[in-house]
Amino acid sequence: MPLDLAMVARKRRQDESSTEGAGGGSAASSKRGRGGASGNLDLTCTICGKASSTSSNLAVHMRTHSGDRPYACTTCGKASSTSVNLAVHMRTHSGDRPYACATCGKAFSQSSSLTLHMRTHSGDRPYACTTCGKAFSGTGHLTVHMRIHSGVRPYACTTCGKAFSTSGDLTRHMRIHTGVRPYACTTCGKAFSETGDLAVHMRIHSGVRPYACATCGKAFSKSSSLAGHMRTHFGDRPYACTTCGQAFSTSHGLTCHTRIHTGHRPYACATCGKAFSTSSNLAVHMRIHTGVRPYACTTCGKAFSTSGHLTVHMRIHTGVRPYACATCGKAFSATGYLAVHMRTHSGDRPHACATCDKAFSQSGNLVSHRKKMHMPDPE
């Protein structure tokens, strides 16, 4: 049954009146006699028995039973039980982080978050799991961890029924249904459903690429992008096309590849109408019209339209050849060069002439063949 706070308040006033009558004095005089404290007022929760030091603290506590959250965020709608909690929440939108770590400088929106963070420097993990012994720096982390053992997922989506072990996971999931994207980029306006996605996006504008490949030096803005890239060195391609069997190192690569079979090209150039299967290919194509070459070599000044072309070019100066043939050991500066070389071992000639059926291992050789053998000589 829902808790009737008004009834609780009336009962409390009646108890207070009875106390005053029995004591022969007023509540005000009782407070004065106790140095401004609550005096004889009973500030104990009638539901769970928890005692509070002030009537306002008791009122806040009662909301844990009633579920009342009267303070709503005007940006994303999230509601809080106290104005203090709302003020802390608002910092997720404003970016305000007033509590800075004196050791590493990392800043936080809450003092409690700073306290937890400081344990990463001290190594203090005072809260241990009684089942497996794993220790944590905060009670909240331990509580969530214990659900791994219990299987409890107390936060269920009212739309699709999917359940989660934390309220935060449920909140993020609900945005799939609502379409809410409360975290907007201050540079271009693009909005995101999570702060982490916004942080990654901001690296597009800042140019920060904190995840570097230890083999070839190529850097990425996301750890997942680096993980996918590392498979180009290991040869791991876990995502296979069900139509032709070609395998890819990332699921995104497979998604883009399947459009070769479906013919789907959802990204069209507004200038010439040419369509592409990926947004990145369209972005690169647009530079043909704009002439933009944003990636310049710091050694010789030559500029390129893509970062990949610049990376390959830089190996001319550094001499780095990270892609080695597993058969003969010959190394190359780009995977494309290695792929062409491998055909000398496999005998693969995928570029066939439509006129005479002669085949070549490289498309450039086919073009030269067609010009030499099949195009009429100028008169």
Other Cβ atoms closer than 10 A to 323: 20
pLDDT score at 18: 44
pLDDT score at 378: 60
pTM: 0.38
The predicted model gives 58-69 an average pLDDT of 89
pLDDT score at 325: 92
Q: Assign a CATH topology to domain 71-152.
A: Double Stranded RNA Binding Domain (3.30.160)
pLDDT digits (tens, 9 = 90+) for 10-23: 544 454 444 444 44
Domains 71-152 and 211-292 share a fold: yes
Q: What is the percent of the chain with per-residue pLDDT over 70, rounded to a whole number? A: 89
pLDDT score at 149: 93
Q: What is the percent of the chain with per-residue pLDDT over 90, rounded to a whole number? A: 25
pLDDT score at 297: 92
**Residue 251 confidence class, pLDDT cut points 50, 70, 90:** confident
The predicted model gives 26-47 an average pLDDT of 55
The predicted model gives 161-189 an average pLDDT of 89
pLDDT value at 288 more than 60: yes
CATH classification code of 211-292: 3.30.160.60
The predicted model gives 254-279 an average pLDDT of 90
pLDDT value at 65 more than 60: yes
**Across all residues in the chain, what is the average pLDDT?**
84
pLDDT score at 40: 60
Instruction: Report phi then psi at 348, rounded to 5.
Output: -70, 130
CA dihedral (168, 171, 174, 180) positive or negative: negative
Per the model's pLDDT, the better-predicted residue between 357 and 325 turns out to be 325
pLDDT score at 242: 92
Buried/exposed 29-53: b ≥16 CB within 10 Å, e otherwise: ebeeeeeeebbbbebeeeeeeeebe
- Smallest Cα–Cα separation from 183: which of 169, 197, 166? 197
pLDDT digits (tens, 9 = 90+) for 212-237: 999 899 999 888 888 888 888 888 88
pLDDT score at 333: 86
Each domain of the chain, given as residue ranges in start order, spans: 5-66, 71-152, 211-292
- Smallest Cα–Cα separation from 282: which of 293, 269, 294? 269
pLDDT value at 26 more than 50: no
pLDDT digits (tens, 9 = 90+) for 86-131: 988 998 898 888 999 998 988 988 888 898 888 888 888 899 999 9
The predicted model gives 295-321 an average pLDDT of 90
pLDDT value at 34 more than 60: no
Across 28-32, 35-39, 276-280, 344-348, least confident range: 28-32
pLDDT digits (tens, 9 = 90+) for 329-365: 999 888 888 888 888 898 888 889 989 989 988 888 8
